[in-house]
Amino acid sequence: MFISEEVKVGQLVESNIVENIPVATATVATLSISPEKADVIEVDVDGNGESDYSVPAFESFNDIQAPTTQIDISGQKVSEKTYLSPVNVTFLSEDVNGVGVQKTEYSFDGENWQDYSGTTTVSEEGEYTIYYRSTDWFGNVEETKSVSFEIVSARGFVEEVSDWAEENGSKQLERMLVTIQDDKYWQDRNSLSKAGGKSVLSRLENAIKFIGEDSDYYTARLELAKQILSQ
Ligand SMILES: [Ca+2]
Ligand SMILES: [Ca+2]
């Protein structure tokens, strides 16, 4: 624990360091520092020699306000909440007029949390909900926020309707056959005539009309199919 230092004309003339003092959260430390010696008290919580936060030394200071965190999701957007893999997730946190952000945490299930240390990449296809919150150095914890999004892959993405039995009047989509899923596809795609590409799209569009509750899912795929086929 660093107690005080005396600096005169830019030179350190005295410092007082006390180490290994047993403290608990209820421990009250009283420091006597004259105004000439320090304006702020630097606090090194983890003892690594670098200040973690500072508080004014000569005015009453308290912080009961939790930090605020914003999430930034960057990636190629397919629709409002659907992205093409991969997606970069970045958190920006601040503790306005406060003691400072100690940590930002995030979780994919709201139960298992990990400390945020920098932009994290999510590339696996699927539906996600990311929970996040920050804590300041005084232990004020932000109310957990969350955002949901879906990641789709360009590979195995454009799906062609197959075995869609219109002629019997049932209008049931029996299965979707993935026709664009690897490098070979890209060659095939380039050999598709515009009419061929349009045929895939129109068949998707027709299928979507009869899918019902899953239509958002397939509408997102249709949007990406259009992007791919218009390249
Ligand atoms: Ca430190
Ligand atoms: Ca605060």
| Number of CB atoms found within 10 A of residue 161's CB | 21
Q: How far is the CA of 63 from the centre of ligand 2 (A)?
A: 5
**Per-residue pLDDT reduced to its tens digit, 6-47:** 656 666 666 666 666 777 777 777 767 666 666 788 888 888
Q: How far is the CA of 184 from the centre of ligand 2 (A)?
A: 55
Assigned token pair, 186 = 């890209």
Greater confidence, 118 or 213? 118
Topology adopted by domain 68-152: Immunoglobulin-like (2.60.40)
Q: How far is the CA of 142 from the centre of ligand 2 (A)?
A: 9
* Residue from 181, 190, 220 nearest 82 by CA: 220
Average pLDDT, the chain: 73
Q: How far is the CA of 23 from the centre of ligand 1 (A)?
A: 17
Specify the DSSP element, H or E, that contains 227: helix 215-229
Mean pLDDT of 51-76: 89
Per-residue confidence at 221, pLDDT binned at 50, 70, 90? low
CA distance 91 to 82: 19
Greater confidence, 75 or 10? 75
The answer to whether 166 and 178 have CB atoms below 8 angstroms apart is no
Q: Which ligand is nearest to the CA of 138?
A: 2
Residue corresponding to tokens 């306000």 = 65
Terminal CA-CA length for the chain: 62
Q: Which ligand is nearest to the CA of 55?
A: 2
Bridge partners, 129 (sequence order):
148
Q: How far is the CA of 100 from the centre of ligand 2 (A)?
A: 6
CA distance 18 to 3: 7
CATH 2.60.40.10 in the chain: give the residue spans: 68-152
Q: Which amino acid is at 56?
A: P
Which sign, positive or negative, has the C-alpha torsion 25, 28, 29, 34? positive
CA distance 211 to 172: 8
Torsion angle in degrees (nearest 10) through CA of 165, 166, 168, 173: 40
Q: Which ligand is nearest to the CA of 98?
A: 2
Q: Which ligand is nearest to the CA of 68?
A: 2
Q: Which ligand is nearest to the CA of 42?
A: 1
Q: Which ligand is nearest to the CA of 46?
A: 1
Cα–Cα separations (whole angstroms), residue 177 to 10, 100, 164, 200: 75, 53, 11, 11
Greater confidence, 150 or 24? 150
90-99, 169-178, 185-194 — most confident range: 90-99
Q: How far is the CA of 43 from the centre of ligand 1 (A)?
A: 8
11-15, 76-80, 91-95, 214-218 — most confident range: 91-95
The answer to whether 92 and 70 have CB atoms below 8 angstroms apart is yes
Q: How far is the CA of 49 from the centre of ligand 1 (A)?
A: 6
Q: Which residues contact 12 (CB under 8 A, 6 or more apart)?
A: 5, 6
- Count CA atoms within 13 Å of residue 15 on its CB side: 8
Q: How far is the CA of 46 from the centre of ligand 1 (A)?
A: 5
Q: How far is the CA of 110 from the centre of ligand 2 (A)?
A: 22
Assigned token pair, 231 = 């390249």
Q: How far is the CA of 172 from the centre of ligand 1 (A)?
A: 63
